[in-house]
Structure 1
Amino acid sequence: MTRAIAVGVDGSPASEAAVDWAAREASLRRLPLRIVHAPWWEPRDFPVIEGDDALDRAAAQVVSEAGARAADGRPELSVTTEVLPEAPVPALLAAARDAEMLVLGSRAQGPVLGFLLGSHGQRVISDTTRPVVSVRATEDGPRPSGEVVVGQQGTAEDSDPALGFAFAAAAARGVPVRAVRAWNLPPLHALSREFLHRTDEAGGLEPLEREELRKVLAPWRERFPEVPVVEHVEIGSAGQVLLAASTGAELLVVGRRARYTPTGGLIGSVAHAALHHARCPVAVVPHQ
């Protein structure tokens, strides 16, 4: 069964930006687009409609306008709209479950605080098993550089889902992938004889990191031979290195390892930094 790209809407400027991005992505990937809305979302985002059935009619107007916006200029795009009866988080999680990805909007909050996903978006990203793309509400800022930037951490098993998403996105756009691997000096207890031997053979710590990145990228280069790859290895904080590398990018892709606490799921510091401070759309891809 072909998976659709799902996008959550609430009538706000942020969700309009999400619809625009999701419609373009669906067209590029030749996938259907599913627009969903949960009428229990914040009432201040609804159109002002009087009457006993105002909520139902407002919800219908939200998805109708979003559907028209997505289809405008895209006669080839299959668009469906749906008002869901559940509360926002369960509705979005259900929509994401059968989707290729879920797209959500985020609101700008200034150059220091970054962007605001809202509690619904953060909970969905932390709990879903599918990729979620966060799209900022405004389009000012750096001009896209024509790259998909992806963070690579750990082993191939750790980063393959994010790399797969990034290479597919780059192939659909006809742009390069910039694979970013940030590294730091290892602690003393990690300096085993085997590690020191591998470092010596590679010619130092940074060459060793470059070698590890090349190994992880090798199968993806074979699977997507048409996608140019830029290998980016840099010492520093993973979040800071990724944010700097993604300046002007079309898309930033980060992985997320599922971590749960009594108060809910956590998305990790790198994904958190990307979601709140990146100047481009951010795809958060769960580890499998």
Structure 2
Amino acid sequence: MLAPVIAAVDGSAESLAAAEWAAREAVRRNRPLKLVHVWNWHPRQDGEPATAAQRHLARRCLHRAEERIQRTCPGVGVEEEQVEGPATAALLRAAARADLLVLGSRGLSGFTGFVVGSVALGVVARAARPVVLVRADETATDEHVPAARGQDSARDSTRTPGRDVVLGLDLGDPCDEVIEFAFEAARLHHARLRVVHAWQQPSAIALGPGDIGLVQKPRRADEWLGFMTAVLQVWREKYPEADVVETVTEGRPQSVLVRAASGASLLVVGRRVTDRPAGPRTGPVAHAAIHHVGCPVAVVPHD
């Protein structure tokens, strides 16, 4: 059986948007769709059985999500599941058997960006499978290039090109899992793939013999662009119809990616799987992306 696309729902606006996005993604990937509700998110240490009220709330949350999916993606088959918390552990178990796990991002503040709860952060930092975070007001319209005047975008949605998929690529550690996810996402979304790498001019103190850091900026940018082209060549051959735009920009990766993702349908970033004593981390780039990027963000784990 194919691994499903799983969306976690709790009745909030962001989880409903995540469920709708997951339904569209399940159709694109030709995968089953499963909605998971975690009851008893913070159980006592001695355990606490689900009450009738909790189970009623769970059924209502799942029903609302399924109703929204049927309004926007009619005909999509939905499987539902209620699982016991704590939430982070329950969702990590769900992610382990998923093709993709979809979660919601809460709210938007002009000062701090999207609010990502501790549960979502814990799942992103530890999940063995890709996790996509979706904002509360995300709709199918946000995935497509605006329709031409006189064209019905809903009726012609299957032929409407998707907005760019953006891949934040670390050329110091280019990982196949992350690159492949982005190329496949662009194919599924009928979108152009924009690959972005941010570089910073090192100080003379940090340079060793043979480093290229002291060359002029245009030449250094050309060096990075040539390296990016070489890294992506095998993927261009695997996806010959892909429309790929390669960009290298001087600046902090966090800031460059937030700007690059403006107007995109999806941002793809990587997260290195580590066994550090301090515990799993999302890393500074993924952390900035999931807090400040407005479009859905896919965080792909890699070795």
With normalisation by structure 1, the TM-score equals 0.88
SS in 2 for 1:285: strand
Aligned 8 A contact 1:102 1:131 in 2:
yes
Query: Quick one: distance in 2 between partners of 1:196 and 1:109?
Result: 41
Match of 1:161 among 177, 182, 201: 177
* Residue matched to 2:166: 149
Aligned 8 A contact 1:108 1:138 in 2:
no
* Residue matched to 2:103: 104
Task: Deviation per CA, 1:7-50: give whole Å up to 9, x if none.
Answer: 101001110110111111111121111110111248xxxxxxxx
* Paired residue type of 1:246: A
- Alignment pair present for 1:27 and 2:27: yes
Query: Quick one: distance in 2 between partners of 1:214 and 1:223?
Result: 14
Q: How does 1:214-229 map to 2 (within 5 A)?
A: 214-229=229-244
Name the structure with the higher helix share. Answer: 1
Identity %: 40
Query: Quick one: distance in 2 between partners of 1:29 and 1:3?
Result: 11
Report which stretch shifted further, 174-183 or 65-74: 65-74
Instruction: Give the number of aligned pairs.
Output: 278
Q: What is the RMSD of the two structures over their aligned residues, measured on CA atoms?
A: 2.7
Gaps of 5+ in 1: 43-51
Query: Quick one: distance in 2 between partners of 1:106 and 1:79?
Result: 22
Task: Deviation per CA, 1:130-153: give whole Å up to 9, x if none.
Answer: 11100011249x966510001010
Are the structure 2 counterparts of residues 27 and 258 from structure 1 closer, same or farther at C-alpha, using a change threshold of 3 Å? Answer: same
Query: Quick one: distance in 1 between partners of 2:220 and 2:120?
Result: 38
Deviation at 1:64, TM superposition (A): 2.3
Query: Quick one: distance in 2 between partners of 1:164 and 1:189?
Result: 36
Gaps of 5+ in 2: 43-50, 146-162
Are the structure 2 counterparts of residues 75 and 122 from structure 1 closer, same or farther at C-alpha, using a change threshold of 3 Å? Answer: same
Task: Deviation per CA, 1:232-261: give whole Å up to 9, x if none.
Answer: 110000010111111110001111113455
Query: Quick one: distance in 2 between partners of 1:10 and 1:69?
Result: 14
* Residue matched to 1:266: 281
Deviation at 1:180, TM superposition (A): 0.2
Task: Deviation per CA, 1:56-86: give whole Å up to 9, x if none.
Answer: 1111221122223223353553321100123
Query: Quick one: distance in 2 between partners of 1:112 and 1:148?
Result: 26
- Alignment pair present for 1:205 and 2:226: no
Aligned 8 A contact 1:182 1:241 in 2:
yes
* Residue matched to 2:160: none
- Alignment pair present for 1:180 and 2:180: no
With normalisation by structure 2, the TM-score equals 0.84
Aligned 8 A contact 1:131 1:283 in 2:
yes
